[in-house]
Amino acid sequence: MLEKLSSFVELARRKKPKIVAVAAAEDSHALEAIKWIRNDGLAEAILIGCRNKITSLAENLKFDISHIEIIDIPDKTEACKEAVRVVKSGQAHILMKGLVDSAIYLRAILNKETGIAASRLVTQLAFIESPHYHKLFAITDAGITITPDQQDKATMIAQSVNVLHQVGIAVPKVALIAAVEHLTPAIAATVDAAALSGITYDNCIVEGPLSIDLAFNKASCRHKGLHSQVGGDIDLAILPDINSANVFYKTVMQLGGALSASTLTGTAKPVVFTSRSDTAKTKYFAIACAISQCKD
Protein backbone atom coordinates (compact mmCIF):
# COMPACT_ATOMS: atom_id res chain seq x y z
CA MET A 1 0.00 0.00 0.00
CA LEU A 2 1.28 3.45 -0.91
CA GLU A 3 0.33 5.91 1.82
CA LYS A 4 1.85 9.17 0.58
CA LEU A 5 3.26 10.77 -2.56
CA SER A 6 6.68 10.56 -0.91
CA SER A 7 6.38 6.80 -1.46
CA PHE A 8 7.21 7.51 -5.12
CA VAL A 9 10.52 9.05 -4.06
CA GLU A 10 11.40 5.86 -2.20
CA LEU A 11 10.41 3.76 -5.22
CA ALA A 12 12.45 6.02 -7.51
CA ARG A 13 15.53 5.48 -5.34
CA ARG A 14 15.40 1.79 -6.32
CA LYS A 15 15.77 2.68 -10.01
CA LYS A 16 18.87 3.72 -11.92
CA PRO A 17 19.09 7.52 -12.36
CA LYS A 18 17.01 8.73 -15.29
CA ILE A 19 17.08 11.65 -17.72
CA VAL A 20 14.05 13.96 -17.92
CA ALA A 21 13.38 16.04 -21.04
CA VAL A 22 11.51 19.21 -20.04
CA ALA A 23 9.42 20.85 -22.79
CA ALA A 24 9.19 24.65 -22.53
CA ALA A 25 11.46 24.55 -19.50
CA GLU A 26 11.19 28.29 -18.78
CA ASP A 27 9.02 27.49 -15.75
CA SER A 28 10.24 28.29 -12.23
CA HIS A 29 8.26 25.49 -10.59
CA ALA A 30 9.46 22.87 -13.09
CA LEU A 31 13.06 24.02 -12.69
CA GLU A 32 12.82 23.93 -8.90
CA ALA A 33 11.41 20.39 -9.09
CA ILE A 34 14.30 19.37 -11.37
CA LYS A 35 16.73 20.97 -8.89
CA TRP A 36 15.34 18.81 -6.07
CA ILE A 37 15.30 15.65 -8.19
CA ARG A 38 18.94 16.21 -9.19
CA ASN A 39 19.95 16.92 -5.59
CA ASP A 40 18.35 13.61 -4.61
CA GLY A 41 20.37 11.82 -7.29
CA LEU A 42 17.22 10.50 -8.99
CA ALA A 43 17.59 12.08 -12.42
CA GLU A 44 19.40 14.49 -14.72
CA ALA A 45 17.63 16.78 -17.17
CA ILE A 46 17.66 18.12 -20.68
CA LEU A 47 15.99 21.53 -20.76
CA ILE A 48 14.26 22.51 -24.00
CA GLY A 49 12.99 26.07 -24.34
CA CYS A 50 14.11 29.69 -24.25
CA ARG A 51 17.71 29.63 -23.00
CA ASN A 52 17.68 33.23 -21.74
CA LYS A 53 14.51 32.72 -19.69
CA ILE A 54 15.69 29.36 -18.35
CA THR A 55 19.03 30.83 -17.29
CA SER A 56 17.40 33.82 -15.60
CA LEU A 57 14.92 31.66 -13.68
CA ALA A 58 17.67 29.26 -12.61
CA GLU A 59 19.73 32.16 -11.26
CA ASN A 60 16.76 33.35 -9.20
CA LEU A 61 16.41 29.81 -7.80
CA LYS A 62 20.16 29.59 -7.09
CA PHE A 63 20.12 26.52 -9.32
CA ASP A 64 23.47 25.82 -11.01
CA ILE A 65 22.58 24.57 -14.49
CA SER A 66 26.06 24.93 -15.97
CA HIS A 67 26.33 21.15 -16.39
CA ILE A 68 22.81 20.67 -17.76
CA GLU A 69 22.16 20.48 -21.49
CA ILE A 70 19.92 23.27 -22.76
CA ILE A 71 18.38 23.15 -26.22
CA ASP A 72 17.50 26.72 -27.14
CA ILE A 73 14.05 26.67 -28.80
CA PRO A 74 11.92 29.66 -27.73
CA ASP A 75 8.85 28.57 -29.73
CA LYS A 76 6.73 26.37 -27.45
CA THR A 77 5.30 24.18 -30.21
CA GLU A 78 8.77 23.41 -31.53
CA ALA A 79 10.12 22.93 -28.01
CA CYS A 80 7.48 20.26 -27.34
CA LYS A 81 8.26 18.52 -30.63
CA GLU A 82 11.96 18.48 -29.79
CA ALA A 83 11.36 17.20 -26.24
CA VAL A 84 9.25 14.35 -27.61
CA ARG A 85 11.96 13.57 -30.20
CA VAL A 86 14.60 13.46 -27.46
CA VAL A 87 12.53 10.97 -25.46
CA LYS A 88 11.54 8.88 -28.47
CA SER A 89 15.17 8.60 -29.59
CA GLY A 90 16.22 7.28 -26.18
CA GLN A 91 18.28 10.33 -25.19
CA ALA A 92 15.90 10.80 -22.25
CA HIS A 93 13.69 8.37 -20.35
CA ILE A 94 10.86 10.69 -19.25
CA LEU A 95 8.98 13.59 -20.82
CA MET A 96 7.95 16.53 -18.63
CA LYS A 97 5.69 19.52 -19.25
CA GLY A 98 6.99 22.98 -18.50
CA LEU A 99 5.30 26.33 -19.12
CA VAL A 100 3.15 25.32 -22.09
CA ASP A 101 -0.53 24.81 -22.79
CA SER A 102 -1.63 21.18 -22.47
CA ALA A 103 -3.08 21.15 -25.99
CA ILE A 104 0.30 22.03 -27.53
CA TYR A 105 2.08 19.45 -25.36
CA LEU A 106 -0.43 16.74 -26.23
CA ARG A 107 -0.28 17.43 -29.96
CA ALA A 108 3.43 16.65 -29.91
CA ILE A 109 2.84 13.46 -27.91
CA LEU A 110 -0.05 12.26 -30.08
CA ASN A 111 1.50 13.03 -33.49
CA LYS A 112 1.08 9.80 -35.46
CA GLU A 113 4.49 10.03 -37.10
CA THR A 114 6.72 11.61 -34.48
CA GLY A 115 4.85 11.17 -31.18
CA ILE A 116 5.10 8.61 -28.38
CA ALA A 117 1.50 7.42 -28.07
CA ALA A 118 1.37 3.63 -27.75
CA SER A 119 -2.41 3.27 -27.55
CA ARG A 120 -5.47 4.59 -29.33
CA LEU A 121 -6.36 6.28 -26.02
CA VAL A 122 -3.97 8.41 -23.96
CA THR A 123 -5.36 9.51 -20.61
CA GLN A 124 -4.36 11.48 -17.54
CA LEU A 125 -3.83 9.48 -14.36
CA ALA A 126 -3.66 11.61 -11.20
CA PHE A 127 -2.42 10.12 -7.93
CA ILE A 128 -3.90 11.93 -4.95
CA GLU A 129 -2.79 12.15 -1.33
CA SER A 130 -5.69 13.32 0.82
CA PRO A 131 -5.63 13.99 4.57
CA HIS A 132 -9.10 12.43 4.65
CA TYR A 133 -8.15 9.04 3.16
CA HIS A 134 -5.83 6.35 4.46
CA LYS A 135 -3.70 5.82 1.35
CA LEU A 136 -2.89 7.15 -2.08
CA PHE A 137 -5.54 6.74 -4.74
CA ALA A 138 -5.65 7.57 -8.43
CA ILE A 139 -8.35 9.02 -10.65
CA THR A 140 -8.87 9.20 -14.40
CA ASP A 141 -9.53 11.14 -16.58
CA ALA A 142 -9.56 14.77 -15.44
CA GLY A 143 -7.70 16.26 -18.37
CA ILE A 144 -8.00 14.60 -21.77
CA THR A 145 -10.89 12.22 -22.55
CA ILE A 146 -14.04 14.33 -22.73
CA THR A 147 -16.82 11.74 -22.85
CA PRO A 148 -15.40 8.23 -22.61
CA ASP A 149 -17.65 5.45 -23.88
CA GLN A 150 -17.75 1.95 -22.46
CA GLN A 151 -14.84 0.77 -24.61
CA ASP A 152 -12.82 3.81 -23.58
CA LYS A 153 -13.46 3.07 -19.92
CA ALA A 154 -12.34 -0.53 -20.40
CA THR A 155 -9.10 0.81 -21.89
CA MET A 156 -8.77 3.30 -19.04
CA ILE A 157 -9.08 0.48 -16.51
CA ALA A 158 -6.47 -1.67 -18.27
CA GLN A 159 -3.92 1.11 -18.76
CA SER A 160 -4.36 2.63 -15.31
CA VAL A 161 -4.12 -0.75 -13.61
CA ASN A 162 -0.91 -1.40 -15.54
CA VAL A 163 0.58 1.80 -14.05
CA LEU A 164 -0.60 0.79 -10.56
CA HIS A 165 1.18 -2.54 -11.02
CA GLN A 166 4.34 -0.68 -12.05
CA VAL A 167 4.34 1.26 -8.78
CA GLY A 168 3.82 -1.87 -6.70
CA ILE A 169 0.06 -2.22 -6.17
CA ALA A 170 -0.41 -5.93 -6.91
CA VAL A 171 -4.22 -6.16 -7.05
CA PRO A 172 -5.70 -2.67 -7.45
CA LYS A 173 -9.23 -2.03 -6.25
CA VAL A 174 -11.12 -0.11 -8.92
CA ALA A 175 -14.38 1.83 -8.48
CA LEU A 176 -16.52 2.88 -11.44
CA ILE A 177 -18.06 6.08 -10.13
CA ALA A 178 -21.63 7.26 -10.73
CA ALA A 179 -24.22 9.37 -8.93
CA VAL A 180 -25.99 6.26 -7.63
CA GLU A 181 -24.91 2.72 -6.85
CA HIS A 182 -27.53 0.82 -8.81
CA LEU A 183 -28.20 0.39 -12.52
CA THR A 184 -30.31 3.32 -13.70
CA PRO A 185 -30.89 3.35 -17.48
CA ALA A 186 -31.34 7.13 -17.50
CA ILE A 187 -27.81 7.57 -16.08
CA ALA A 188 -25.35 6.33 -18.69
CA ALA A 189 -22.47 6.04 -16.21
CA THR A 190 -24.36 3.37 -14.26
CA VAL A 191 -24.99 1.35 -17.45
CA ASP A 192 -21.29 1.40 -18.35
CA ALA A 193 -20.28 0.58 -14.78
CA ALA A 194 -22.66 -2.36 -14.49
CA ALA A 195 -21.37 -3.83 -17.77
CA LEU A 196 -17.69 -3.36 -16.92
CA SER A 197 -18.00 -4.65 -13.37
CA GLY A 198 -19.58 -7.82 -14.75
CA ILE A 199 -16.31 -8.75 -16.47
CA THR A 200 -13.84 -11.08 -14.72
CA TYR A 201 -10.43 -9.45 -14.22
CA ASP A 202 -7.37 -11.46 -13.21
CA ASN A 203 -5.19 -8.51 -12.13
CA CYS A 204 -7.57 -6.19 -10.28
CA ILE A 205 -10.96 -5.99 -8.57
CA VAL A 206 -13.54 -3.82 -10.34
CA GLU A 207 -16.89 -2.77 -8.87
CA GLY A 208 -19.54 -0.32 -9.94
CA PRO A 209 -21.54 1.68 -10.11
CA LEU A 210 -20.41 3.16 -6.81
CA SER A 211 -21.22 6.63 -5.53
CA ILE A 212 -18.36 8.66 -4.05
CA ASP A 213 -19.41 8.02 -0.44
CA LEU A 214 -19.39 4.26 -0.96
CA ALA A 215 -16.08 4.31 -2.82
CA PHE A 216 -14.26 6.13 -0.04
CA ASN A 217 -16.10 5.20 3.15
CA LYS A 218 -16.60 1.70 4.54
CA ALA A 219 -19.09 3.01 7.09
CA SER A 220 -21.31 4.22 4.24
CA CYS A 221 -21.17 0.75 2.70
CA ARG A 222 -22.21 -0.86 5.98
CA HIS A 223 -24.99 1.69 6.52
CA LYS A 224 -26.43 1.03 3.06
CA GLY A 225 -26.00 -2.74 3.41
CA LEU A 226 -23.51 -2.96 0.54
CA HIS A 227 -21.12 -5.90 0.67
CA SER A 228 -18.09 -4.71 -1.26
CA GLN A 229 -14.45 -5.74 -1.70
CA VAL A 230 -13.68 -2.26 -2.99
CA GLY A 231 -15.80 0.23 -1.06
CA GLY A 232 -13.81 2.31 1.43
CA ASP A 233 -10.48 1.00 0.16
CA ILE A 234 -10.21 1.94 -3.52
CA ASP A 235 -6.92 2.46 -5.35
CA LEU A 236 -8.43 3.81 -8.56
CA ALA A 237 -11.59 5.75 -9.40
CA ILE A 238 -12.86 5.83 -12.97
CA LEU A 239 -14.93 9.02 -13.19
CA PRO A 240 -17.80 9.21 -15.73
CA ASP A 241 -16.44 12.05 -17.88
CA ILE A 242 -14.00 14.97 -17.94
CA ASN A 243 -16.44 17.33 -16.21
CA SER A 244 -16.98 15.13 -13.17
CA ALA A 245 -13.31 14.11 -13.01
CA ASN A 246 -12.00 17.65 -13.33
CA VAL A 247 -14.44 19.01 -10.75
CA PHE A 248 -13.57 16.17 -8.35
CA TYR A 249 -9.83 16.72 -8.83
CA LYS A 250 -9.91 20.48 -8.36
CA THR A 251 -12.28 20.25 -5.40
CA VAL A 252 -10.09 17.85 -3.41
CA MET A 253 -7.04 19.94 -4.29
CA GLN A 254 -8.49 23.38 -3.55
CA LEU A 255 -10.84 22.63 -0.66
CA GLY A 256 -9.71 19.24 0.61
CA GLY A 257 -6.05 19.94 1.27
CA ALA A 258 -4.90 17.23 -1.12
CA LEU A 259 -1.62 16.86 -3.02
CA SER A 260 -1.27 15.21 -6.41
CA ALA A 261 1.11 13.74 -8.98
CA SER A 262 -0.12 13.36 -12.56
CA THR A 263 1.22 11.28 -15.42
CA LEU A 264 -0.23 9.82 -18.63
CA THR A 265 -1.26 6.31 -19.57
CA GLY A 266 -1.06 4.88 -23.07
CA THR A 267 2.37 6.29 -23.94
CA ALA A 268 5.56 4.49 -24.92
CA LYS A 269 7.56 6.32 -22.24
CA PRO A 270 6.53 7.82 -18.88
CA VAL A 271 5.11 11.32 -19.26
CA VAL A 272 4.70 13.95 -16.53
CA PHE A 273 1.39 15.78 -17.06
CA THR A 274 1.10 18.59 -14.55
CA SER A 275 -0.74 21.90 -14.74
CA ARG A 276 1.21 25.09 -15.38
CA SER A 277 -0.05 26.39 -12.03
CA ASP A 278 1.03 23.33 -10.03
CA THR A 279 3.60 23.90 -7.30
CA ALA A 280 7.22 22.77 -7.46
CA LYS A 281 6.37 20.15 -4.84
CA THR A 282 3.60 18.70 -7.00
CA LYS A 283 5.91 18.60 -10.02
CA TYR A 284 8.66 16.98 -7.94
CA PHE A 285 6.35 14.16 -6.89
CA ALA A 286 5.10 13.77 -10.47
CA ILE A 287 8.69 13.27 -11.68
CA ALA A 288 9.28 10.71 -8.92
CA CYS A 289 6.05 8.96 -9.94
CA ALA A 290 7.24 8.81 -13.56
CA ILE A 291 10.63 7.42 -12.50
CA SER A 292 8.78 4.76 -10.47
CA GLN A 293 7.10 3.62 -13.69
CA CYS A 294 10.42 2.96 -15.44
CA LYS A 295 11.52 -0.64 -15.80
CA ASP A 296 14.89 -0.31 -14.05
Q: Where are the domains of the chain?
A: 6-118+267-293, 123-256
Q: What is the pLDDT of residues 48-97, one digit of tens each?
A: 999 999 999 999 999 999 999 999 999 999 999 999 999 999 999 999 99
Give the model's pLDDT for residue 82: 98
Q: What is the pLDDT of residues 201-258, one digit of tens each?
A: 889 999 999 999 999 999 999 999 999 999 999 999 999 999 999 999 999 999 999 9
Side by side, the strands of the sheet bearing 43-49 are 69-72, 43-49, 18-23, 94-97, 271-272, 259-265, 123-129, 137-140, 236-238, 173-177, 205-210
pTM to 2 decimals?
0.94
For 21-41, b/e burial (b = at least 16 CB within 10 A) is: bbbbbbbbbbbbbbbbbbeee
Give the model's pLDDT for residue 275: 85
Q: What is the mean pLDDT of the chain?
A: 96
Q: List the one residue out of 129, 148, 130 whose CA is nearest residue 244.
A: 148
Q: What is the pLDDT of residues 96-134, one digit of tens each?
A: 999 999 999 999 999 999 999 999 999 999 999 999 999
Grade residue 1 by pLDDT with cuts at 50, 70 and 90. Answer: confident
Report whether 205 contacts 233 (CB < 8 A): no
Interatomic CA distance for residues 233 and 166, integer angstroms: 19
| For residues 262-283, average pLDDT | 94
The domain defined by 123-256 folds into: Isopropylmalate Dehydrogenase (3.40.718)
Over pLDDT 90: what percentage of the chain? 95
Interatomic CA distance for residues 159 and 181, integer angstroms: 24
For 128-152, b/e burial (b = at least 16 CB within 10 A) is: bbbeebeebbbbbbbbbbeebeeeb
Give the model's pLDDT for residue 248: 96
Query: Does the pLDDT of residue 24 top 90, yes or no?
Result: yes
- The yes/no answer on whether domain 6-118+267-293 falls in CATH 3.30.300.30 is no
